[in-house]
Amino acid sequence: MTAAIETHNLTKEYPHGFLHLKRKTSLENLTMQVEDGEVFGFLGPNGAGKSTTIKLLMGIIFPTAGSAQILGKPVSDVSMHRDIGYLPEQPYFYDYLTAAEVLDYFARFHGFSAAERRERVQKMLHKVGLETAGKIQLRKFSKGMLQRVGLAQAIVHDPKLVILDEPMSGLDPVGRREVRDIILELKNAGKTILFSTHILSDAETLCDRVGVIAGGQLRGVGAPGSIVGVKSLGMEIIFELTGGGAQIEKVRAKATKSGANYRMSINEADLYAALEELRGAGAKVISLTQIKPTLEDFFMELVGKDRAQAAAVEVSGQ
Amino acid sequence: MNRILIVARNTFREAVRDRVLYNLVFFALLMIASAVIVGQISMDIEAIVMVSLGLSAISLIGLLIAVFTGVGLVSKEIDKRTLHAVLAKPLRRWEFLVGKFTGLVLTLTVNTAAMAAGLFLAMWFVKHSLVRGDTVVLVAVYFMLLKLTLVVALAMMFSCFTSPLLAILFTGGLYVAGLFVAQLRSLQLTSMSAHTQKFFSILSYLLPNFENYDVMGAAAHGRGISGSLVLLNTLYTALYCAIVLSVATVIFSRKDLK
Amino acid sequence: MTPGKSTAWLLLLILPAGFVGVWRLQRKVNVERDAMYQEQDEVLVRSPKLMKLVTLEYATLAADIYWTRAVQYYGNKHLGEETNLESLWPLLDAATTLDENLLPAYRFGATFLSQPEPRGAGRPDLAVQLLERGLNANPSYWRLNQDLGNVYYLELKDYAKAGRTYLEGSKKPGAAPWMKVMAARFMEKGDSRETATMLWTELLDSSTDESIKETARINLELLRADEDVDQINVLAQRFIAKMGRPPTSISEMAQAGLIGGEPVDPTGHPYVIGLDGKARVSSKSPLFKEKSVYRRPL
Q: What is the pLDDT of residues B190-204, one digit of tens each?
A: 556 777 777 877 888
Cβ within 8 Å, pair A82-B90: yes
Please give the ipTM for the structure prediction.
0.80
pLDDT surpasses 50 at A314: no
Cβ within 8 Å, pair A79-B257: no
Strand partners, A250: none
Q: What is the pLDDT of residues C252-285, one digit of tens each?
A: 888 888 887 788 888 888 888 888 878 888 888 8
In this structure, the answer to whether residues A65 and A82 fall within a common structural domain is yes
What pLDDT shows up at residue A161?
A: 94
Cβ within 8 Å, pair A67-C1: yes
* Residue A239 lies in domain: 235-290
Asked if the structure places residue B211 within a domain, the reply is: yes
- Give mean pLDDT, residues B208-220: 79
In this structure, the answer to whether residues A97 and A132 fall within a common structural domain is yes
Topology adopted by domain C44-215 = 1.25.40
What pLDDT shows up at residue C160?
A: 86
What pLDDT shows up at residue A85?
A: 93
Chain C residue at shortest CA distance from A60 = C2
In this structure, the answer to whether residues A280 and A299 fall within a common structural domain is no
What pLDDT shows up at residue C188?
A: 73
**pTM, rounded to two decimals:** 0.66
For chain C, which chains pass the contact test of at least 3 CB pairs under 8 Å? A, B
End-to-end CA distance of chain C: 80
- Give mean pLDDT, residues B226-238: 89
Cβ within 8 Å, pair C50-B52: yes
How sure is the predictor about C298, in pLDDT bands with cuts at 50, 70 and 90? very low
How sure is the predictor about A231, in pLDDT bands with cuts at 50, 70 and 90? low
Specify the amino acid at residue A148: R
In this structure, the answer to whether residues A140 and A262 fall within a common structural domain is no
Alpha-carbon distance of B12 to A48, in angstroms, equals 39
What pLDDT shows up at residue B146?
A: 94
CATH of the domain at A277: 3.30.70
More confident call, B100 vs A249: B100
CATH of the domain at A19: 3.40.50.300
How sure is the predictor about A120, in pLDDT bands with cuts at 50, 70 and 90? very high
Among the residues of chain C, which ranges form H helices? 5-36, 48-55, 59-79, 88-98, 103-114, 124-137, 142-150, 159-170, 178-189, 193-206, 210-243, 250-255
For chain A, which chains pass the contact test of at least 3 CB pairs under 8 Å? B, C
Q: Is C76 on the interface with B (CB under 8 A)?
A: yes
B123-139 burial: b if 16+ Cβ within 10 Å, else e: beebeeeeeeebebbeb
Closest C-alpha to A212, from A200, A221, A203:
A221
What pLDDT shows up at residue B238?
A: 94
Per the structure, the count of domains in chain B is 1
Per the prediction, chain C carries an average pLDDT of 79
What pLDDT shows up at residue A312?
A: 41
- Give mean pLDDT, residues C15-28: 87
What pLDDT shows up at residue A192?
A: 93
Helix B93-127 to helix B2-17 angle (10° resolution) is: 50
How sure is the predictor about A307, in pLDDT bands with cuts at 50, 70 and 90? low
Asked if the structure places residue A318 within a domain, the reply is: no
What pLDDT shows up at residue A157?
A: 92
How sure is the predictor about B235, in pLDDT bands with cuts at 50, 70 and 90? very high
Q: Is A96 on the interface with B (CB under 8 A)?
A: yes
How sure is the predictor about A86, in pLDDT bands with cuts at 50, 70 and 90? very high
Ranking A29-33, B68-72, B163-167 by mean pLDDT, the lowest is: B68-72
Asked if the structure places residue B258 within a domain, the reply is: no
CB C200 within 8 A of CB C219: yes
How sure is the predictor about B124, in pLDDT bands with cuts at 50, 70 and 90? confident
pLDDT surpasses 90 at B105: yes
What pLDDT shows up at residue B99?
A: 93
* Residue B63 lies in domain: 2-253
Residue of B225, B243, B254 with shortest CB distance to C4: B254
What pLDDT shows up at residue A227?
A: 62
Alpha-carbon distance of B43 to B49, in angstroms, equals 10
Cβ within 8 Å, pair C3-B254: yes
What pLDDT shows up at residue A247?
A: 75
Ranking A6-10, A63-67, A171-175, B99-103 by mean pLDDT, the lowest is: A171-175
Rounded to a whole number of angstroms, the distance from the CA of C2 to the nearest CA of chain A is 6
pLDDT surpasses 70 at A230: no
Residue of B216, B226, B254 with shortest CB distance to C32: B226
Q: What is the pLDDT of residues A243-253, one digit of tens each?
A: 666 677 777 77
Query: Cis ω on the peptide bond leading into residue C104 (within 30° of 0)?
Result: no
Q: What is the pLDDT of residues B64-83, one digit of tens each?
A: 888 888 887 777 777 767 78
Q: Is C68 on the interface with B (CB under 8 A)?
A: no
| Percent of chain C with pLDDT strictly greater than 70 | 80
Rounded to a whole number of angstroms, the distance from the CA of C67 to the nearest CA of chain B is 14
Residue of B45, B229, B254 with shortest CB distance to C33: B229
In this structure, the answer to whether residues A46 and A139 fall within a common structural domain is yes
User: CB neighbours (10 Å) of residue A129?
Assistant: 16
Alpha-carbon distance of B221 to B216, in angstroms, equals 9
What pLDDT shows up at residue C239?
A: 86
Closest C-alpha to C200, from C224, C229, C180:
C224
Chain C CB contacts of B38 below 8 Å: 53
Rounded to a whole number of angstroms, the distance from the CA of A97 to the nearest CA of chain B is 6
pLDDT surpasses 80 at B84: yes
Q: What is the pLDDT of residues C60-83, one digit of tens each?
A: 666 776 777 677 667 655 555 554
What pLDDT shows up at residue C57?
A: 58
CB C263 within 8 A of CB C232: yes
More confident call, B58 vs C55: B58
What pLDDT shows up at residue C50?
A: 59
Alpha-carbon distance of B110 to C126, in angstroms, equals 48
Alpha-carbon distance of A135 to A313, in angstroms, equals 41
Extents of the domains making up chain C: 44-215
- Give mean pLDDT, residues A77-104: 87
What pLDDT shows up at residue C131?
A: 93
What pLDDT shows up at residue C84?
A: 53
Q: Is A62 on the interface with C (CB under 8 A)?
A: yes
Per the prediction, chain B carries an average pLDDT of 81
Per the prediction, chain A carries an average pLDDT of 82
Per the structure, the count of domains in chain A is 2
- Give mean pLDDT, residues C219-241: 86
Chain C residues at the A interface, defined by Cβ less than 8 Å, are 1-3
Q: Residue C173 — left, alpha, or beta (φ > 0 → left; ψ -120 to 50 → alpha)?
A: beta
What pLDDT shows up at residue B188?
A: 55
Chain A residue at shortest CA distance from B93 = A78
What pLDDT shows up at residue A40?
A: 92
pLDDT surpasses 60 at B116: yes
Q: Which of A170-174, C34-38, C78-82 has the highest mean pLDDT?
A: A170-174
Asked if the structure places residue B154 within a domain, the reply is: yes
Rounded to a whole number of angstroms, the distance from the CA of B95 to the nearest CA of chain C is 14
What pLDDT shows up at residue A53?
A: 92
In this structure, the answer to whether residues A129 and A261 fall within a common structural domain is no
What pLDDT shows up at residue B224?
A: 75
Listed as own residue / partner, the contacts of C60-68 with beta carbons closer than 8 Å and 24 or more positions apart are C60/C98, C60/C99, C62/C98, C63/C94, C63/C95, C63/C96, C63/C98, C63/C99, C63/C102, C63/C105, C64/C95, C64/C99, C64/C102, C66/C91, C66/C92, C66/C94, C66/C95, C66/C98, C67/C91, C67/C92, C67/C95, C67/C102, C67/C104, C67/C105
Q: What is the pLDDT of residues B11-50, one digit of tens each?
A: 888 887 776 667 777 777 777 777 667 656 544 456 666 7
